[in-house]
């Protein structure tokens, strides 16, 4: 016996409404039945259901029938991990973040390898002594690997302890959620543990091997004598490569972060096509409070009237297809005198709006008028189209006024008159401009439902929010004020993914830059220390101190310059790879590239300043005595 | 050429002040070959470092060819040293990643001379010291004596008025040491004023004047004593 559980928010009417698509069906496969087999076996059932549904559409074209029936199929997807559209939306951003994290791990490993190699250079005599006293190569290698492994274990364990705390804080910041109400779990389970272990082992192996290579075939004679004042060529080569790699990775990460930050900035400053200042919105759905659709219009009208009386509120209106929330309500239309091509899509966004909607949200009316209270049920059907619609089908906004539309295809009466043309807007999100759209009066809707109510205020919206709740409570205490927020907050909300990406990218890039700077500082500091005698000799022979500074930093400056330039094509390639996540940013964005290189060079200059200063302050007398 | 008046140098460590040079009054004429001797800790190297203008922390008056060094600032002293003084070190202090020719060229590179001129000067010195064949070798490919030879060549390539040598034969065996000292005598005959610090009595006899320091004080200033064999020969 199957009990039917009806979602508490929806009424039976929606179950009977063949145009209503709000349910996700979940089923369990019989043992032995695969997903493709289930999909194939459901196809005939789906086809027959669609054939029946088609009969309920009184007027439709052949093309509509083809799209609705012939090319439609039921998709069966794996629900063993739950169904969450966010997972699909976040796949690419998460892949980007994972790549950045991977690059950061690589940078860390190179950094530690460099520092271990610097330390190894100091231990040349010790290791050579061990070899000279009879130590086998394997013994030396295992000693070095164990030392590296200890570092790796220490780092990994510390990271694992910190990870849940940091992850929870990050999720809270990114999703703007309250403590305990984070939408994503940040707990460390076995999968996270094993993954971290795997990455740690790889990173540890990488940086532990560097000093091992240094001591595989030591030059015992020279090392035991250790009568060298300058660095060996092999060590120098690796250090240069390692520092160069770190700098290049930093530029890459900073460039990536720059692209995402610019994307976020572009989105935030994107013109949406209506006035976003002093605009508040909230969702109002009479059905949530148990009212049927026959009372929806009355309740909505009463609410709008009550809200209009609030001091400071200059206009109130509603829309069943809210702006910038990711929703879409479309319907099929035919245009009198226009024959659509066979494959031409005639589905357009179809928001249902209350009178004075455009005036309320500040969307310009380019021709004709907007809806009034006279445009109600029983009156001639009217529509307002947007500029994209008018241009596409009529050439100019003026030409669109008075033209006739019909809802649906096929032999349908053209009983809808275009009375106005409004400017284009962003609708689903900030990235996508709304294509051709047909606005219809809410008051003429066959099955009126809940709306997003918009209020234009004369003063700061935040001051009016409590009054809105109070007004609605006074009107009807059962009515629920959903998601009350300003339009600015809605825009912020709609860019939360981009903001999260930018925030994390900045974090990774900053860490990378600090690591590269620390790496460079370590190499330069060691180099300066090792070259103390050389510096002392040069000073004793008459070298100006400025020449000494140039000597110390020049080599690294050249490496930094080459590495930065080498990273620029990588940033461009990255931009191409993640083009879909960017907005208003070209793949060859000069500002981002320049900023990435400039910031890296600036930070590295700071890192080099101290060793350079130390080099310049060497006293030749002391230096020559050091030997 | 050099005139020191009441030159003193001390090091402060905590509350203790250690004097390494006490009221040094010394005149060295142009063309002299002077040896500074004394036990360890006597202040020999400190005096040499002061003469070389490597040390700034002494007090008193130091006149270098009528230039009041004590009135010059650090940059002016460095310029004077670069132009007029050459230094030879006990440990040679050659740069390992530079060839013989490059090591010799090093002090010239700090004098803003055209590279053509520098090339010529280096070639002259290589020829004079008979180390042309070794010009492309690195220090670790040379013996101790050869390295010191290169060190001296480097010190004199810019024809300094004053050559200072700190234990120049300290790391060499006797044959090499004699060769080096003979070279110093030649340079001195050619007009270079030489001041050397040495422990070796034998090396001291190559010079014409010995100054002895003890506990920072100048205790002796006289011509070197001849060996008994030399007295017999006279």
Q: What is the pLDDT of residue A578?
A: 84
- What is the rounded average pLDDT of the residues B143-153? 90
Chain A residues touching B159 at Cβ < 8 A:
none
In the stretch 215-234 of chain A, residues with CB closer than 8 A to chain B read: 222, 228-230
Nearest residue to A488 (alpha-carbon basis) of A350, A315, A281: A281
Q: Is A359 exposed, middle or buried (0-12, 13-18, 19+ CB in 10 A)?
A: middle
Partners of B8 in beta bridges: B59
The two tokens of residue A621 are 């007398």
SS3 A586: coil
Q: Maximum CA pair distance of chain B? A: 55
* Pick from B91, B110, B140: CB nearest A547: B110
Instruction: Compare CB distances from B49 to A229, A538, A621 and report the shortest one's residue.
Output: A621
- DSSP tag of A184: S
Q: Is A26 on the interface with B (CB under 8 A)?
A: no
Closest to A437 measured CA to CA, from A482, A378, A393, A488 = A393
- Whether residue B54 and residue A228 make contact (CB cut-off 8 A), yes or no, is no
Give the span between the Cα atoms of A203 and A113, in whole angstroms: 10
Spans of chain A below 50 pLDDT: 1-2, 10, 227-231, 626-627
How far does chain B reach from its first CA to its final CA, in angstroms?
32
Query: Out of A229, A542, A621, whose CB is closest to B78?
Result: A542
Tokens encoding B94? 């050659």
| Six-digit token string for A204 | 């540890």
**A171 phi, psi to nearest 5 deg:** -60, -40
In angstroms, the separation between the Cα of residue A201 and the nearest Cα of chain B is 38
A627 → closest Cβ in B78, B91, B97: B91
User: Is there a contact between B78 and A627 if contact means CB atoms under 8 Å apart?
Assistant: no
**Which among A537, A542, A544 has CB closest to B93?**
A537
b or e along A105-140 (b: 16 or more beta carbons within 10 Å of the residue's beta carbon)?
A: ebbbbbbbbbbbbbebbebbeebbebbeeeeeeeeb
Nearest CB to B110; choose among A543, A620, A627: A543
Q: Are A608 and A553 in contact (CB under 8 A)?
A: yes
Q: How far is CA A33 from CA A28, A30, A101, B116, in A?
A: 10, 6, 39, 88
CB A150 within 8 Å of CB A122: no
**DSSP 8-class letter at A380:** P
> Minimal CA–CA distance to A87: which of A555, A497, A513, A598?
A497
| Nearest CA among A173, A237, A137, A159 for reference residue A204 | A159
Beta bridge partners of B11: B18
CA pair distance B27, B151, nearest whole angstrom: 27
pLDDT tens string A10-59: 455 556 655 556 667 788 888 998 888 988 888 888 888 888 888 876 66
B109-112 contacts: CB < 8 A, separation 24 or more?
B110/A538, B110/A541, B110/A542, B110/A543, B110/A544, B110/A547, B110/B82, B111/A542, B111/B82, B111/B83, B111/B158
For an interface test with B, which of A234, A542, A546, A616 has the most B Cβ atoms less than 10 Å from its Cβ?
Answer: A542
Residue with tokens 């008459």, as numbered in its chain = A542
A570 touches A248 (CB < 8 A): yes
Greatest extent of chain A over all pairs of C-alpha atoms, in Å: 105
- CB-based contact B93 A222, cutoff 8 Å: no
Which of B81, B90, B97, B151 should one mutate to test binding to chain A, selecting the residue with the greatest count of A CBs within 10 A?
Answer: B97
Q: What is the DSSP letter of A182?
A: -
DSSP string, A270-289: ---SS--TTEEEEEE-GGGG
Q: What is the mean pLDDT of residues B12-28?
A: 89
- Paired residues of A457 in beta bridges: A313
| SS3 per residue for chain B | CEEEEEEEEEEEECCEEEEEEEEEEEEECCCCEEEEECCCCCCHHHHHHHHCCCCCCCEEEEEECCEEHHHCCHHHHHHHHHHHEEEECCCCCCCCCCCHHHHHHHHHHCCCCCHHHHHHHHHHHHHHCCCHHHCCCCHHHCCHHHHHHHHHHHHHCCCCCEEEEECCCCCCCHHHHHHHHHHHHHHHHCCCEEEEECCCHHHHCCCCEEEEEECCEEEEEECCCCCHHHHHHC
Which tokens hold the place of A301?
A: 């009208």
Quote ipTM for the complex: 0.73
pLDDT in tens, B76-120: 888 888 888 998 888 888 888 889 999 999 888 887 788 889 999
CB contact under 8 A, B54 and A620: yes
d(CA B153, CA B164): 13
Residue whose pair of structure tokens reads 């009237």 in the numeric block:
A305
Contact A624 B140 (CB under 8 A): no
Residues of B in contact with A229 (CB under 8 A): 93, 95-96
Chain B hits for A547, Cβ within 8 Å: 110
Q: Which residues of chain B lie closer than 8 angstroms to A624, CB-CB?
A: 89, 91, 93
User: B145 at the A interface (CB within 8 A)?
Assistant: no
B96: nearest CB among A229, A619, A621: A229
Per-residue tokens: A386: 């947007």
- The count of other CB atoms within 10 Å of the CB of residue A327 is 14
Q: Does the beta carbon of A540 lie under 8 angstroms from any beta carbon of chain B?
A: yes
* Predicted local distance difference test score (pLDDT) of residue A176: 67
Which residue from A minimizes the CA distance to B45? A621
| Closest to A235 in 3D by CA, of A220, A203, A205, A213 | A213
d(CA A100, CA A90): 15
- Cβ of A621 within 8 Å of Cβ of B81? The answer is no
Nearest to A228 among B55, B81, B96 (CB): B96
**Angstrom distance (rounded) from CA A383 to CA A9:** 30
- A531: helix, strand or coil: coil
Residues 4-43 on B with a CB inside 8 Å of A are: none
Chain A contact set for B89 (CB, 8 A): 537, 624
* Tokens 């021709």 sit on residue: A367
Tens digits of per-residue pLDDT, B53-81?
888 889 999 999 889 999 998 888 888 88
C-alpha angle A561/A564/A566, rounded to 5°?
105
The pLDDT of residue A139: 78
Q: Does B95 touch chain A (CB under 8 A)?
A: yes
Please tell me the predicted confidence (pLDDT) of residue A227. 45
B110:A624 CB<8 A: no
* Residue-level length of chain B: 234
Identify the structural domains of chain B with CATH numbers, from first to last: 2-9+19-233 (3.40.50.300)
Chain B residues with CB-CB distance to A541 below 8 A: 82, 87, 106-107, 110, 154
pLDDT digits (tens, 9 = 90+) for A522-562: 888 887 887 888 888 888 888 888 888 888 888 788 888 89
8 Å CB contact of B140 and A222 = yes
The rounded mean pLDDT for chain B is 88
- What is the structure's pLDDT at A481? 93
How far apart CA A453 and CA A449 sit, in angstroms, is 12
pLDDT tens sequence across B170-205: 888 888 888 889 989 999 999 999 999 998 888 999
Give the one of B91, B96, B110 whose C-beta lies nearest to A541's C-beta.
B110
Sheet arrangement for strand B67-68: B16-28, B2-13, B59-64, B67-68
- Residues of A within 8 A of B111 (CB-CB) are 542
Burial class of residue B66 in the structure, from the number of CB atoms within 10 Å of its CB (0-12 exposed, 13-18 middle, 19+ buried)? exposed
**Phi, psi angles (nearest 5°) of residue B204:** -65, -30
Measured between alpha carbons, how far is A207 from A611 in angstroms, rounded to an integer?
24
- B73 has a chain A CB within 8 A of its CB: no
Query: How far from A231 is each of A228, A234, A467, A551, CA to CA, in Å?
Result: 7, 9, 75, 14
Whether residue B8 contacts residue B19, with contact meaning beta carbons closer than 8 Å, is answered with: yes
Measured in angstroms, the CA of B130 and the nearest CA of chain A are apart by 22
């Amino acid at each position: 016996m199957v009990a039917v559980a009806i979602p508490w928010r929806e009424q039976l009417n929606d179950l009977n409404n063949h145009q209503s698509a709000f349910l996700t069906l979940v089923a369990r496969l019989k043992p032995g039945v695969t997903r493709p087999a289930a999909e194939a076996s459901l196809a005939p059932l789906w086809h027959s259901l669609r054939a029946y549904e088609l009969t309920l559409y009184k007027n439709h074209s052949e093309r509509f029938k083809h799209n609705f029936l012939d090319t439609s199929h039921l998709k069966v997807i794996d629900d063993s991990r739950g169904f969450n559209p966010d997972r699909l939306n976040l796949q690419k951003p998460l892949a980007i973040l994972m790549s950045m994290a991977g690059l950061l791990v690589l940078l860390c490993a190179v950094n530690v390898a460099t520092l271990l190699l610097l330390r190894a250079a100091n231990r040349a005599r010790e290791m050579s002594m061990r070899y000279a006293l009879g130590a086998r190569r394997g013994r030396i290698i295992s000693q070095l690997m164990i030392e590296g492994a200890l570092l790796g274990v220490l780092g990994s364990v510390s990271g694992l302890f910190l990870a849940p705390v940091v992850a929870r804080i990050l999720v809270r910041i990114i999703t703007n959620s309250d403590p305990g109400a984070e939408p994503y779990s940040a707990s460390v389970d076995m999968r996270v543990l094993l993954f971290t272990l795997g990455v740690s082992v790889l990173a540890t192996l990488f940086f532990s091997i560097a000093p091992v290579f240094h001591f595989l075939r030591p030059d015992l004679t020279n090392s035991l004598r250790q009568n060298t004042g300058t660095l060996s060529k092999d060590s120098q080569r690796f250090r240069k490569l390692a520092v160069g790699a770190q700098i290049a990775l930093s530029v890459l990460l900073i460039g990536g972060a720059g692209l995402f930050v610019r994307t976020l900035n572009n989105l935030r400053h994107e013109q949406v096509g209506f006035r976003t200042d002093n605009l508040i919105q909230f969702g109002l759905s009479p059905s949530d409070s148990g009212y049927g659709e026959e009372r929806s219009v009355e309740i909505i009208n009463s609410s709008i009237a009550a809200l209009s009386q609030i001091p400071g509120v200059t206009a109130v209106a509603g829309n069943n297809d809210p702006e910038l929330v990711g929703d879409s309500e479309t319907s099929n239309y035919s245009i009198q005198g226009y024959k659509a091509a066979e494959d031409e899509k005639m589905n357009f966004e179809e928001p249902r709006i209350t009178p004075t909607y455009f005036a309320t949200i500040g969307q310009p009316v380019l021709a004709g008028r907007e809806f009034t209270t006279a445009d109600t049920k029983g009156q001639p059907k009217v529509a307002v189209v947007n500029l994209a619609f008018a241009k596409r089908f009529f050439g100019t906004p003026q030409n669109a006024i008075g033209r006739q539309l019909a809802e649906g295809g096929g032999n349908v009466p053209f009983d809808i008159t275009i009375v106005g043309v409004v400017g284009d807007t962003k609708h689903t999100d900030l990235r996508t401009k709304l294509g051709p759209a047909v606005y219809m009066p809410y008051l003429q809707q066959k099955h009126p439902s809940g709306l997003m109510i918009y209020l234009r205020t004369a003063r700061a919206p935040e001051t009016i929010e409590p009054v809105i709740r109070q007004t609605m409570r006074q009107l009807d205490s059962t009515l629920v004020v959903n998601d009350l927020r300003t339009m600015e907050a809605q825009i912020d909300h709609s860019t939360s993914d981009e903001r999260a990406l930018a925030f994390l990218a900045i974090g990774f890039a900053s860490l990378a830059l600090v690591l590269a700077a620390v790496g460079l500082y370590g190499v330069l500091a060691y180099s300066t220390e090792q070259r103390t005698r050389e510096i002392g000799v040069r000073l004793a022979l008459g070298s100006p101190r400025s020449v000494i500074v140039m000597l110390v930093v020049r080599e690294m400056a050249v490496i930094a310059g080459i590495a930065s330039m080498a990273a620029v094509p990588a940033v461009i390639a990255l931009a191409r790879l993640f083009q879909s996540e960017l907005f208003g940013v070209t793949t060859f964005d000069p500002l981002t590239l320049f900023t990435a290189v400039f910031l890296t060079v600036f930070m590295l200059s700071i890192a080099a300043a101290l060793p350079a200063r130390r080099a310049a302050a060497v006293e030749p007398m002391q230096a020559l005595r050091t030997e | 050429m050099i005139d020191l008046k009441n030159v003193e140098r001390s090091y402060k460590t905590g509350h203790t002040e250690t004097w390494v040079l006490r009221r040094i009054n010394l005149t060295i004429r142009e063309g002299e070959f002077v040896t500074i001797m004394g036990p360890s800790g006597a202040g020999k190297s400190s005096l040499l470092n002061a003469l070389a203008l490597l040390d700034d922390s002494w007090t008193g008056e130091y006149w270098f060819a009528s230039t009041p060094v004590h009135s010059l600032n650090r940059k002016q002293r460095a310029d004077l040293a670069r132009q007029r003084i050459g230094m030879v070190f006990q440990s040679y202090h050659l740069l390992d990643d530079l060839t013989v020719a490059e090591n010799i060229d090093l002090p010239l590179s700090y004098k803003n001379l055209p590279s053509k001129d520098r090339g010529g000067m280096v070639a002259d010195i290589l020829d004079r010291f008979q180390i042309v064949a070794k010009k492309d070798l690195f220090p670790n490919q040379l013996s101790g004596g050869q390295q010191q030879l290169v060190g001296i060549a480097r010190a004199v390539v810019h024809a300094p008025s004053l050559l200072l040598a700190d234990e120049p034969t300290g790391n060499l065996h006797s044959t090499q040491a004699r060769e080096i000292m003979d070279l110093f005598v030649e340079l001195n005959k050619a007009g270079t004023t030489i001041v050397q610090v040495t422990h070796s009595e034998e090396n001291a006899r190559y010079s014409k004047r010995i100054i002895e320091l003890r506990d920072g004080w100048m205790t002796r200033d006289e011509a070197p004593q001849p060996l008994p064999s030399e007295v017999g020969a006279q």
